[in-house]
Amino acid sequence: MSYIEGKKDHGNLPIKAIVPILAEDRTIDGAVVKERFGLKELTELSYELLPNAQKRAFAAAQTVSAELQKKAAYSAIAIAGAAAAAGANIWLENQRSFQKGLRAIKADIYSTG
């Protein structure tokens, strides 16, 4: 057990996960000895742990996971679509209220005329 894992297990560090990574391939004399690993897992875990307000910015800025960028983009589209639908619904309700008010005014004008 590593020192950090021990601290995590005893509650001394607020660690959610330990993700081993190798950022670049290891080579000896031009031959790849060990391929890079862990970056995608670290990126996705970091995204999941962020507050919602920062998730889209993080997803757009990172270059490790295209899937994460798609996920954030679809989320933004869904939010924009919901906002547009809500705005259209409010506009429609306002139009209905306006038309109802106009009918009441017309009825009042014609009934007193």
What average pLDDT does this structure show over 54-83?
77
Q: Picking from 22-26, 51-55, 74-78, 81-85, which range would have the lowest pLDDT averaged per residue?
A: 74-78
3-class SS at 105?
helix
What's CA 37's distance to the chain center, in Å? 24
Per the prediction, the chain carries an average pLDDT of 79
Contact in structure between 47 and 55 (CB atoms under 8 Å): yes
Length of the chain: 113
Look at residue 47 and tell me whether its pLDDT is greater than 80: yes
Look at residue 1 and tell me whether its pLDDT is greater than 80: no
- In the 8-state DSSP scheme, what is residue 37? B
Q: Which residues contact 44 (CB under 8 A, 6 or more apart)?
A: 65, 68
Nearest CA to 55 out of 73, 78, 42 is that of: 73
